[in-house]
A = this chain, B = another copy of it.
Amino acid sequence: MVADSPFVSDVPAAEALEAWHEGCVAAGCPARVDVMRVPVGDAVGRVTAEPVWARRSSPAFDSAGMDGIAVHAADTVGAAETTPVRLADFAVVDTGDPLPEGYDAVVMREHVHRDADGTAEVRTAAPPYQHVRSIGEDISATELLLPAGHRLRPVDVAAAAAAGAVELAVRRAPVVVIVPTGDEIRPIGTEPAPGEILDTNSLMLAAQARELGCEARVTPIVRDDPAVITEALRAAAADADLVVLIAGSSAGRDDYTARVVAGAGTLSVHGVAVRPGHPVVLGAVDATPVLGAPGYPVSASLTFDIFAAPLLASLEGAAPRERPTTTARLARKLASNVGMDDWVRVRLGRVGGEVVATPLPRGAGVLTSLVRADGLLVVPAGLEGHHAGEHVRVELLRGLGEIGRTIVAIGSHDLVLDMAASALRADDPLVTLASSNVGSLGGLVALRDGLCHIAGSHLLDPATGEYTLPYVDKILDGDKIAVVRLVHREQGLIVAPGNPLGLSGVDDLVREGLRYVNRQRGAGTRVLLDHELARRDLDPGQVSGYSREEHTHLAVAAAVAAGRADTGLGIRAAARAFGLDFVPVAEEPYDLVLRDSGLHDELLAPLWALLESPTFRAEVEALGGYSCAETGHRIR
């Protein structure tokens, strides 16, 4: 009996970093990158390699702090409203002018009356050094201006230049070389054949390295052959301060990274207690640290954040960059693996004065979960998760101001919401419409629980044949709730081009051998199917594939397009998007449900204006399967 059990372990992240560090030291990796001297103007973003002491004072001379006249303070003694003093000996100065020799105070020009005879009258006594900027007011020669290990910002280099620095000793940018591996990986720009994958990870990790101020280079894609990978790794290590080897870090048949690193150098860690990210390889080859990153894009990105970023900061001798955090209320229960740090991507919105966090899909392959994330919530190992409503600490990926200007839509998915999101943003970069797709019912519940501003719904009440309103009464008590029509849209069976099985309607769904793909529980489209089946006295159990669930219209269409299902109920726009055919079943209203205060809320105003726009309506109807006859009408 042959058991291929995986040999990756679960080392906690902090221990893994420590083990990697020790392994690197033992392997002779340098603690810091080299020092170079660069002109002050080129030093921004780099890290000081030594303290910057002021060589010169700034200002370098006493100067006028105001526009006015320079005077001898002693000459003004006794000046007052009733006893003005007339001065013949003064000098006109502007702010910043050196204080002319012999004068020791400045009187603001608003407080001076100059006569045609060249004298000036002052009505307040000027104490010595009034409005005089002293030499060294900003910087005293020899003081410590900046410590070593400081990442230089624009103000820092300006101050260093003012203090007499012409060049600064800084660490050079660390060099990161990224080595993509895998027989199935193809360069971006090629058209991948079935089973092939575009090398988007290299693009992403190189960009992440550059964001950290590093130089990044990507090698050609290396095929799954340990000898070739070893050669590529050694070549990369020769030029790099860090090599990132992408994929092959797991324990599959083609996963050679750990073996290759162990063979060519030191393997410190294989497998970390971080999800997503788990099968990570940390080691060193030829005195160069090596990170073996998993091929799943979310794992690759987070792994770089968690392991590469601190190493790179340490090579520069600087503190790692950190993300700001905020406290948020968790929209729903979050279970977590007790043995792992769980990095959960969340959407954030400010609803009812509080920041609310809604977890996004957690798969390591769902890169869009990171694209759409406003924050990261780490559930540390040892914790089983969080309850709904619990307050949690979230690392911010977007600014809180921007989050506060985001319209949060939770509920059913519709392409028109996507179009609205895009149109709103194009109009005003400050407006964001973020929608999470949890089905109509989920949306109404989210609205009830204060998790969103609007809920998109097309829920049919089989008893009355009415859409959405009966549910509003039931779930939301109907209190202070407004309902605004977004569109009418056609629902129907999405079928392969040419409708090869000749489906004509819901009656055909019980046909022997037909493969249906359904929507998730709580989705309006599923309720519609149930209703249509019930009307015909058909039993869901008779529909093969009834229990297979997808979460969006597009996912259903994708399944049909891939030949993985014969049909599924969905909107015409989804069929059209995939070049599929469509058998109409029903026309239904799709509505936006909200607290009625939202009708006059500044945040939502751009949305209501958009729904009135003829251009927008024309674009929606051009999608096919939509009618805007009642768009924007308040139906409750």
Contacts and interface: CB of A to CB of B under 8 A. Distances in A.
A203 B157 CA distance: 8
Given A324-B400, A368-B145, A399-B322, A208 B61 contact: no
A41 interface: yes
A94 B1 contact: no
A505 interface: no
Interface stretch (A77-85, A261-269, A421-429, A599-607): A421-429
A613 B555 CA distance: 65
A565 to B, nearest CB: 10
A513 interface: no
B425 A148 contact: yes
Contact of A371 (B134, B155, B574): B155
Contacts of A159: 200, 297, 367-368, 370-371
26 contacts: A3-B114, A6-B109, A41-B206, A44-B207, A51-B422, A67-B251, A96-B197, A97-B195, A128-B548, A135-B559, A135-B561, A135-B562, A138-B363, A140-B557, A140-B558, A144-B421, A153-B207, A154-B204, A155-B204, A155-B301, A158-B200, A158-B301, A166-B188, A319-B399, A322-B402, A324-B396
B558 A321 contact: no
A138 B64 CA distance: 64
Nearest to A155: B370
A95 interface: yes
B138 A430 contact: no
Interface in A285-342: 295-297, 301, 313-314, 317-319, 321-325
Interface stretch (A228-236, A252-260, A349-357): A252-260
A410 to B, nearest CB: 16
A629 interface: no
Contacts of A139: 367-368
A510 B365 CA distance: 81
Interface string A92-129: 10111110000000000110011110000000000011
Interface in A40-59: 40-41, 44, 50-51, 57-59
A489 interface: no
A204 B426 contact: no
Nearest to A113: B1
Contact of A116 (B2, B207, B211): B2
A370 to B, nearest CB: 5
Interface in A381-422: 396, 399-402, 405, 415, 418-419, 421-422
A142 interface: yes
B204 A157 contact: yes
Contact of A210 (B44, B255, B323): B44
Contacts of A430: 319
A179 interface: no
